[in-house]
Structure 1
């Protein structure tokens, strides 16, 4: 029996546009609502960031990154990514509006079935990697791949959600507070031990996700988040065939390639992972693809909303897998034990002794983590340094500056109109940010402006055709005015101009992708007021109307009141 959940936001009109209908889900970072966009008359998912995350020393930085990442995520276009429509602030409410998916998440699917048929598991993983490839090509890392963020629509479409928020949270917590925030069951070893993440971090999570879909359980479980994180750092993900003996070796090899503990031995990104998965699937027969691990499903019991992922006090002996989707904060470096230290991860004593052992183990782990953290962040590699100002530098100069600051560099290229080709555009974390030593700084190198061809013959096209041609070329059409024209038909383009006022003519101008092209549309000839010609002779009336480019057509009729010829 569950109590009715009341939420003060339900029924409210957010930002004068989004009418909140009901609460869909609540997590550690945000609450998601079903809302109606009154302006466009459509259902949307409204994600509202918890107000407390905007408080404290890192609050402004968190909100700023949240907004920036929302804009970045909105630029990603792929049918397998949940579309981001809008971002804004209404009072103390920071929100995103996203595509509403009517269906269930992958967590519900796994729970209902126990384990997925091999073919379905590979299909879901393929769609997730396909969507993730778009982000990796754009230099974005998701950082929170888990079943709760994989949505399955009623029509079978698979969508990957939660890009901007997961990235913003990870950045702030890892660089500012010395902790890493994420879902512990899917955290890559390098994220736990060093707070570092790149495309391979997402690939690791996809490997764990695939393992769970196939076997019905996660590769690592424990009584606390620290237990689970410790295993990610110190143990290899087991072969799925250890739990499901009939699985072919090709599936074991696939999971091993995705979830290798050493990220240098891991598949480098989602693009390569997708290609490997497709090759693996192509080599399996239909009978094998239809088989499913003999794991019973169970009804999903809804739990009270929680922001820290902790289980209730009367469930202390429950394995941590029961709250696998919860987001937790862990100290960076906790997975690295002191020399000679032995830590028991899975107590196997009887129930009462097992509880005692679990408590002792937890205390030992916490003390070890605190001692290690003191050295790590005080004098060791985790001691702080500052990201230097390298915008406008060459790649070689940027590398030298980062080396001098005890930082690593990961370079990506992107089109940019603010810096010449080959020079640094930006860094992530930003210049001046305090970070731990050996942190990897993502550096964007300019590829120069992203020039696109302006479509020819815009003037004279219909408004619809011109806008379609500009959109297809990667430009942004904008109808900025209408005027009458005696020659051009109504609805056709009179002029097309770039922001600097020059004509959008491919023979004399060029533009970068996303440039706005202003269109002026004809309303046809201007209407005229017909002069009064009653009582005039036909010749006089003809002459008067000719001044307005009008032609007089006459007919004759008898009249007792009007003189002939008038």
Structure 2
């Protein structure tokens, strides 16, 4: 077992409902713990304000504001707040527990995200902000640390501790509470924030995801703040040339220095964000906000055609340009792509018609070649065909068709998977033929995988008719090393009793127990932890007194994540040796007084030949052994001297 510093809250139950299990993270205002809700039987995250801050009314109000702000949203991209209370005079919040990482941790791992990753995360963040803005709430502290990426793919905004109502935009001395790298110019210069300030921070986050760095650099926070107030955010493409102009324009629109030049709120930004992500607006003419976008001319008389009108016009005359678009001679790739799409659609219709005609001709030829009742026909190959077309092809051969459901690995559900008798079999006209409608892969029983050694689990997966994917992660759970903790399907969720054949199965595997390091020196601890895939981060180390372990040696490993995975950073609790106390000076006191003073200081007392009590008041103490001022452990016996 590993020894870690005692946290008095671990194991404590709040309001007879929430049991604190382990510590997850530490913030500037609060500590976050993993806990259990005894009433609803679910895991929760419990945020408890630091006791020294609970005495400050302003911090307490801000902490309670977070609960009110987040609890009123109820949006899939905002961390849910379930409950709020006060325990032993310290406020706490109960929130949903999201195992995973923050966007900051992903940026540390990857440095820079792909455009698809940045847009997927950005859209979720904007959706959460849009819900907050619609509810009249400004986040005021949007940054990668407050964007949570759950293991199951959910993306949520958390930490509404600085949130304010949209109308309450004056912050006075609180202006610099948010992270300086993401503060809007108006927050830096005037201490004022509204919904547009959140969009400035969002633009900086997008810039960082796309380029791998923040737009402004400086050794001192005030240098960065000055750049926010007096400089224009550069285009992301200056650092990542593959980024297109529309993405540049979108980021710079959100990062305009003047709030009036930005989107009015997250819903407006989200609408444009989705247009850019999808490659343009649903209409032919691109109508974008003028502020922050370059090279776009908006003319009131420009005709805007719907998709239906465009398709009809192209179908009638594919070579004709649509109002508001350039002609093919302008090399407009959008026009050419749409025209080519119409031509492909028309060719597809001709091909489909040709297939039906060929099937009909085949039926006629079969009838002629068969020469009447009793003649035989060959069952055609219909696997992969539309079910209605396959049925028609069989009935045209004078076959009696019944449709049954069949599983198939190759054919998509709903299409024809084959026939019984099989294709190319010759049968009499009027014979019964079963046409198989594909139901997709067959559902097979899932074997027990948890607890098996990894190699045995992989063999069991293959033997059961599934496909092994990969070991997603290794966790230190205290169990047997290299045994399966969980088996997950393609959606990232646990497997049920049945699962489609040949589908992928991923595993989470135990890394065993965290090594016992008690009594070891730090270098040996680092070597041992590295051997099992853990990194010792000296900045996470702590020190504490210990009567048994010599100074400088390890007491135990400190973990800061739940679960602890291979590759995680950990710290070590180091011994400061036994705690020593100064022997108080009791010379001049009588025996009774001296004994009382020494015991109050934590020592035991030997009075020698003079007992405590009435006789003790008659004898004056001259000195002690050990002498006054010497450092000794608590409980050391101090002898009284009278001469």
The interval holding the TM-score normalised by the smaller chain is: 0.3 to 0.5
Q: Which gives a bigger RCO, structure 1 or 2 (Cα 8 Å, sep 6+)?
A: 1
The alignment's TM-score, normalised by the length of structure 2, stands at 0.42
Q: Computing the radius of gyration over CA atoms, which structure comes out larger, 1 or 2?
A: 2
